[in-house]
Amino acid sequence: MRELAVATHARNELIDITSEVEKAVLDQGVAEGLCHVFVPHTTAGVTINENADPDVSRDVQTTLASLIPHTGDYRHAEGNSDSHVKSSLVNCSAIVPVAGGRLVLGTWQAIYFCEFDGPRRRRCLVTAIGK
């Protein structure tokens, strides 16, 4: 397993971590298998989506903010209830196939670290399983 450090700069942000994840897979020496990406935070997540057009990540953030506003009839006292809900919807892990020592992603796909309660210093765990 490899741990990636992710520094976020805004309350809500999607950060492309694809190259760092792929390097972590290479460092683990796995040529064929699976890559598991796990975010050990309750107000962050990980998703796979398009990286060709930056408006896609903007649209994801805007839609989540519209569906789950920062303020609302929340009971959690820390003021970040929306972040917990967004994290639950996006999820905290993703699995990507590995072939030839590389991530098998679609032409336009990238792996995004999703920050919902930043800015913060975060962690992302990458485990490559296979041979």
Torsion sign over Cα 113, 117, 119, 120: negative
* Residue numbers of the domain that contains 124: 2-130
pLDDT value at residue 19: 98
pLDDT value at residue 102: 96
pLDDT value at residue 55: 96
pLDDT value at residue 70: 96
pLDDT value at residue 38: 98
Q: Give the CATH number of the domain where residue 43 resides.
A: 2.60.120.460
pLDDT value at residue 109: 98
The total number of structural domains that make up the chain: 1
Query: Are 130 and 13 in contact, with CB atoms under 8 Å apart?
Result: no
pLDDT tens across 4-51, in order?
A: 999 999 999 999 999 999 999 999 999 999 999 999 999 999 999 999
